[in-house]
Amino acid sequence: MATTQEDKAFVLWFTGLSGSGKSTLADRVYDELSANGNRIEKLDGDVLRGIFPATGFTKDDRDEHIRRVGFLASMLEKHGVIVVASFISPYKEARNFVRQRCGNFIEVYVSTSLDECRRRDVKGLYKRADAGEIKNFTGIDDPYEEPENAEIVVNTEGLSIDESVAVIINALKDLK
């Protein structure tokens, strides 16, 4: 699946609740696409929050963060780079902004129930949100607007990581 002159770059945008498996799947898909010789870049919410200044968690802050990242992703794509992006990106309007900026936007909805995300809670964020230590936490006291027409939907509750990656890679082949 190496990118050639006739192949278009694309933005593969992973969205879902915290703990859904977005970053894990994005990392594995990135590794697989990278191993095939593609020009590729990975953008991750946790990493970029540490770089972009004043990135808060209000709706306006989140929207601004996604607009910044969406702009960056669209510029990379414009220059022939495949972008694998992993962001909660809870609001449809912000995701649509990114979709409209990009020439070939592929949304991957990592559909994992709130109960399962709470059970995983690797970072302890749900416990902190439940205790009132974290405000505006997606899925608790801030909404997550599920994608209505994602190109790829993966429910990580019923699939292993390898099976989930295979679903995404196979779907990409069909979309190309």
User: Which DSSP string corresponds to 10-33?
Assistant: -EEEEE--TTSSHHHHHHHHHHHH
Catalytic residue flag (residue 20): no
163 burial via Cβ count (<10 Å: 0-12, 13-18, 19+): exposed
- Name 42's bridge partners: 84
From 89, 111, 160, 164, active-site residue: 89
- Residues marked as catalytic: 89
